[in-house]
Amino acid sequence: MPLEQPVMSTIFFIVLAAERFGKHKTISQIVAILAVLLLQAVPRWGPWLAGPGLGGHSALWWLAEVSQWVAVALTVFSGAVYLWKNRRLYLEDL
């Protein structure tokens, strides 16, 4: 299924378009995954990759930590927005 194709409700034949929050969530997840992978590569590629530290941790560690929490928050928020905007469909199934 192509990525641009919207999700279609098979029961009601209603197109559920992708939300902007979902796109931001995907980008934040990609950034978090890349940061964690780079953090794992630091011992092999050298400490120059980590950058200067703050609070006993490198800048890359902070990027990985913050980006993971941002990805979690956007995942929860975008899921809540999606469910709220389409609540009529879910409530009709009950």
Are 60 and 49 contacting, i.e. CB atoms less than 8 angstroms apart?
yes
pLDDT (0 to 100) of residue 67: 96
Mean pLDDT for 53-58 is 73
Q: Quote the pTM value.
A: 0.71
Q: What is the DSSP letter of 94?
A: -
Q: Which one has a higher pLDDT value, 76 or 47?
A: 76
pLDDT band at 49 (very low <50, low <70, confident <90, very high): low
Q: Would the pLDDT of 20 be above 90? A: no
Closest CA to 86 of 4, 22, 3: 22
**pLDDT score of 25:** 94
Using the 8-state DSSP alphabet, how is residue 17 labeled?
P
